[in-house]
């Protein structure tokens, strides 16, 4: 038996069970072994009945006094009761409806009961405990994720069967020298410990080993990809036009902006394809950096595609670029879902003929019939909204064009390593001058009127504001409630002020209309759902109230809040939340204490876990079974050793590194599509 053996060769696996196991992704012995427990119950330590904690899982060793007696309490429910003792105290055992379990208990036999103890000081009881014969020994039990028809014990049995047939199933991808250096378990031993832990320490060591392996292979893979992608490109920038571009700008670029432009242009002049991430907190001025690169690439005779995740954002970039390039002969086009069919055809024709230099748009840019004459640079804004595939699809429209992806989501360093390990990074760590930090307050609904009064005061001073309304989903009912919310405000507290409403269900034209009226200053107060989250830039808007603030993730709140504090006026954000839980309160407090997006992102990651960070599987990470992005110490270590090994053996050709290549292939093959 080896890891490629079909699962059906195991005893106890017929066609039907094989099918069920298939649903869990298990079709070979190797799959089975790599099907790690979801969690464990600790039966390795027992407690006496008297000392058992209330309402916490524990394991009690006790002798059954008499065979459980059943009492039918309703048609569908029989309750079995018995008593067990550890020699000192009594434990009342209740079993619901399971005749089989009840009848398997014998008077005078010793068992292990696992569960939560309830009752009171005088009377202790356990309902529906997990039960094993005491003779089966004290140990940690694995718990597996299951599908109907398969239980944890069944999987455990299969795994024991595999291990009893010999131990060497996997060749270890990690070289011996590395394992020695980091005191990592050998792979087969680790896998065995995961399924059949000897004790807690060994289990922890096994977990450490497996997590390290996953992170390490992942890092190696990304680094190799990055190395491989140092491919040459026909898009060669002969001259740097940054100075000329600077003269078109109404402001002087910040040091960080200049550095980012220099790093990018430097790379584009070198015949090696640029793959760069531009990271900068909200308001740091990423658009100007993008425009600088666009200017240089267009002046060198190439076209540029600039993709944004929403229509509003695409329009905003369009207007910004039109203004920047007003006095030049650069031809800018906008392609979004709301452009008419005839216009679209014309735009596409101009692109194809090379009569358009810069195309700005949404996903619409990816469509097959969008063709370029000489695409030199692809820019995607708010990159995490797009899958890796989208980025790639756009690039394919040229021949190895340079790419710049911009992200305003301050990504924790650990996560950035994972997501963008294949990219070079420029960071805008400096805000344009004259910005005043946003002040943030957290209040309960009781102070809503006062908050609104504060908003009105700002409107009276000629400023504008946002109210983010209480809305969870973008469903129809919620839209109705957003509408009535906005109406109440405009007829009530804000009567006499121009109030606009922006939500996701508006037609693009309507959205554009509302936005442009807000930008022009006609609309004073914009009531909005989270569609304003990304990138919208109105410097005169200085106050924001966020209703039900607890419903948002910290990073999302940070993004929302980033819509204000963009001009020379002092800005204020008021979070309204009646949430009672300590966590929610803590989250609100974090927001009031810092405006550092990276700090917030770190907290967010800690509190919510990586799964939620960008929403489910938008990020294109390969599927890691055990590692999580919060394992930052191991991740850093993995990164360091991956770099070390590649420096020593770039192609992983040395005998001891050979297995690494296969492991990389296995990990990246199925999930992570880079090109
Ligand atoms: P983000 O990085 O969030 O996309 P934007 O590119 O929208 O930020 O820029 C935010 C605002 O800052 C814009 O109004 C822009 O014109 C302004 N801005 C950008 N760079 C500078 C600068 N160097 N000096 C002054 N204002 C700037
Ligand atoms: Mg932006």
Q: What is the band of 297 on the pLDDT scale with cuts at 50, 70, 90? A: very high
CA 538 to centroid of ligand 1, rounded, Å? 10
Contact between 88 and 71 under an 8 Å Cβ cutoff? The reply is: no
Q: Give the pLDDT confidence score for residue 618 in this predicted structure.
A: 38
CA 339 to centroid of ligand 2, rounded, Å? 22
Sign of CA dihedral 168, 173, 178, 179: negative
Residue 570's CB is within 10 A of a number of other CB atoms, namely 16
Of the bound ligands, which one is closest to the alpha carbon of residue 567?
Answer: 1
CA distance 615 to 609: 11
Stretch 240-262: mean pLDDT, rounded? Answer: 96
Q: What is the band of 419 on the pLDDT scale with cuts at 50, 70, 90? A: low
CA 543 to centroid of ligand 1, rounded, Å? 18
Q: What is the band of 389 on the pLDDT scale with cuts at 50, 70, 90? A: low
Residue nearest to atom 24 of ligand 1 (CA): 432
Q: What is the band of 137 on the pLDDT scale with cuts at 50, 70, 90? A: confident
Tell me which residues have their CB within 5 A of the ion that is ligand 2: 535
With CA atoms as reference, report the closest residue to 411 among 278, 243, 573: 278
Question: Around 186, how many Cα atoms within 13 Å sit in the side-chain half-sphere?
Answer: 8
CA 536 to centroid of ligand 2, rounded, Å? 7
Stretch 421-442: mean pLDDT, rounded? Answer: 84
Geometric angle at alpha carbon 505, from 502 and 511, rounded to 5°:
45
Contact between 547 and 467 under an 8 Å Cβ cutoff? The reply is: yes
pLDDT at 417 over 70: no
User: Ligand 1, closest atom to CA 254?
Assistant: 23
CA 262 to centroid of ligand 2, rounded, Å? 20
Backbone angles phi and psi of 74, in degrees to 5: -155, 180
Of the bound ligands, which one is closest to the alpha carbon of residue 383?
Answer: 2
Q: Give the pLDDT confidence score for residue 95 in this predicted structure.
A: 93
Residue nearest to atom 21 of ligand 1 (CA): 432
Residue nearest to atom 27 of ligand 1 (CA): 432
Model confidence pTM above 0.85: no
Residue nearest to atom 10 of ligand 1 (CA): 283
CA 401 to centroid of ligand 2, rounded, Å? 22
Report the residue among 253, 286, 288, 559 best suited for mutation to probe ligand 1: largest number of ligand atoms under 8 A from its CB. 288
Stretch 318-343: mean pLDDT, rounded? Answer: 93
Of the bound ligands, which one is closest to the alpha carbon of residue 538?
Answer: 1
CA 246 to centroid of ligand 2, rounded, Å? 19
User: Ligand 1, closest atom to CA 566?
Assistant: 11
Identify the helix (H) or strand (E) that includes residue 306.
Answer: strand 303-307
Identify the helix (H) or strand (E) that includes residue 643.
Answer: helix 632-648
Backbone angles phi and psi of 90, in degrees to 5: -110, 145
Q: What is the band of 414 on the pLDDT scale with cuts at 50, 70, 90? A: low
CA distance 422 to 227: 8
- What's the chain's average pLDDT? 86
User: Ligand 1, closest atom to CA 280?
Assistant: 2
Report the residue among 256, 285, 306, 380 best suited for mutation to probe ligand 1: largest number of ligand atoms under 8 A from its CB. 285
User: Ligand 1, closest atom to CA 434?
Assistant: 25
Q: What is the band of 272 on the pLDDT scale with cuts at 50, 70, 90? A: confident
Q: What is the band of 442 on the pLDDT scale with cuts at 50, 70, 90? A: very high
Q: Give 177-198 pLDDT, tens digit per residue.
A: 999 999 999 999 999 999 999 9
Q: Give 24-53 pLDDT, tens digit per residue.
A: 889 999 999 989 998 898 898 899 998 998
CA 285 to centroid of ligand 1, rounded, Å? 3
User: Ligand 1, closest atom to CA 252?
Assistant: 23
Which of 137-151, 389-403, 482-496 is predicted most confidently?
Answer: 482-496
pLDDT at 519 over 60: yes
Q: Give the pLDDT confidence score for residue 420 in this predicted structure.
A: 63
Report the residue among 283, 317, 532 best suited for mutation to probe ligand 1: largest number of ligand atoms under 8 A from its CB. 283
Of the bound ligands, which one is closest to the alpha carbon of residue 559?
Answer: 1
Stretch 461-478: mean pLDDT, rounded? Answer: 78
CA 535 to centroid of ligand 2, rounded, Å? 4
Percent of residues, the chain, with pLDDT higher than 70: 88
The structure tokens 């452009």 sit at 339
Q: What is the band of 299 on the pLDDT scale with cuts at 50, 70, 90? A: very high
Sign of CA dihedral 49, 50, 56, 59: negative
Backbone angles phi and psi of 534, in degrees to 5: -95, 125
Q: Which residues line ligand 1 (CB under 6 A)?
A: 251-254, 257, 280, 282-288, 408, 432, 535, 537, 539, 566
Residue nearest to atom 16 of ligand 1 (CA): 285
pLDDT at 162 over 70: yes
pLDDT at 350 over 50: yes
With CA atoms as reference, report the closest residue to 106 among 137, 46, 43, 63: 63
């Amino acid at each position: 038996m080896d890891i490629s053996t079909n699962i059906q060769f195991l005893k106890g696996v017929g066609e039907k069970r094989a099918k069920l196991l298939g649903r869990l992704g298990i079709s070979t012995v190797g799959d089975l072994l790599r099907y790690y427990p979801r969690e464990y119950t600790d039966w390795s330590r027992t407690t006496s009945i008297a000392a058992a904690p209330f309402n916490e899982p524990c394991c009690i060793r006790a002798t059954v006094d008499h065979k459980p007696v059943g009492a039918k309490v309703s048609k569908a429910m029989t309750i079995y009761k018995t008593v067990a003792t550890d020699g000192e105290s009594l434990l009342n055992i209740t079993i619901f409806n399971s005749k089989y379990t009840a009848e398997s208990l014998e008077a005078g036999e010793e068992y292990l009961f696992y569960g939560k103890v309830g009752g009171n000081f005088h009377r202790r009881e356990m309902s529906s405990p997990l039960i094993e014969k005491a003779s089966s020994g004290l140990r940690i039990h694995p718990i597996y994720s299951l599908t109907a028809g398969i239980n944890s014990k069944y999987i455990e049995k299969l795994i024991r069967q595999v291990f009893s047939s010999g131990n060497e199933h996997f060749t270890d991808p990690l070289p011996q020298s590395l394992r020695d250096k980091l005191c990592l378990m050998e792979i087969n031993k680790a896998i065995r410990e995961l399924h059949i832990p000897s004790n807690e320490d060994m289990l922890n060591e096994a977990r450490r080993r497996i997590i390290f392996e996953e992170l390490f292979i992942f890092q190696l893979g990304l680094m190799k990809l990055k190395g491989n992608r140092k491919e040459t490109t026909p898009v060669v920038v002969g001259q740097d036009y940054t100075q000329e571009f600077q003269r078109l700008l109404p402001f002087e670029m910040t040091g960080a902006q200049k550095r980012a432009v220099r790093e990018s242009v430097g790379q584009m002049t070198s015949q090696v394809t640029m793959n760069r991430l531009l990271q900068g907190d909200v308001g740091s001025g990423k658009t100007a950096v993008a425009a600088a690169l666009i200017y240089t690439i267009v002046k060198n005779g190439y076209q540029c595609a600039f993709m944004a995740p929403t229509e509003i954002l695409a329009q905003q970039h369009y207007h910004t670029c039109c203004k920047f390039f007003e006095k030049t002969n650069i031809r800018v086009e906008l392609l979004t879902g709301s452009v008419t069919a005839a216009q679209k055809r014309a735009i596409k024709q101009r692109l194809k003929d090379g009569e358009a230099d810069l195309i700005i748009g949404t996903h619409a840019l990816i469509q097959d019939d969008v063709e370029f004459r000489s695409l030199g640079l692809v820019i995607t804004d708010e990159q995490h909204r797009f899958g890796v595939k989208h980025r790639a699809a756009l690039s394919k429209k040229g021949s190895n064009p340079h790419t710049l992806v911009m992200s305003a989501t301050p990504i924790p360093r650990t996560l950035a390593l994972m997501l963008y390990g294949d990219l070079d990074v420029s960071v805008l760590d400096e805000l344009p001058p004259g910005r005043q930090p946003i002040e943030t307050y957290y209040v309960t609904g009781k102070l809503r009127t006062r908050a609104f009064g504060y908003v009105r005061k700002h409107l009276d001073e000629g400023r504008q504001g946002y109210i983010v309304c209480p809305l969870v989903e973008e469903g129809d009912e919620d839209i109705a409630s957003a509408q009535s919310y906005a109406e109440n405000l405009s007829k009530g507290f804000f009567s006499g002020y121009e109030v606009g409403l922006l939500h996701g269900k508006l037609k693009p034209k309507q959205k554009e209309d509302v936005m442009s009226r807000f930008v022009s200053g006609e609309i004073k107060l914009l009531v909005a759902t989270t569609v304003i989250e990304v990138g919208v830039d109105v410097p005169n808007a200085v106050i924001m109230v966020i209703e039900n603030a607890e419903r948002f993730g910290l990073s999302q709140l940070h993004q929302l809040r980033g819509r204000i504090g963009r001009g020379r006026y002092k800005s204020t954000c008021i979070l309204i939340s009646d949430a009672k839980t300590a966590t929610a309160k803590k989250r609100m407090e974090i927001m009031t204490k810092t405006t550092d997006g990276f700090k917030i992102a770190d907290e967010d990651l800690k509190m919510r876990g990586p799964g939620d960070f960008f929403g489910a599987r938008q990020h294109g990470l390969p599927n890691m079974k055990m590692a999580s992005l919060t394992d930052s110490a191991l991740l850093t270590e993995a990164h360091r050793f991956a770099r070390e090994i590649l420096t020593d053996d770039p192609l992983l050709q040395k005998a001891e590194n050979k297995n690494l290549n296969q492991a990389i292939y296995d990990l990246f093959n199925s999930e992570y599509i880079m090109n």
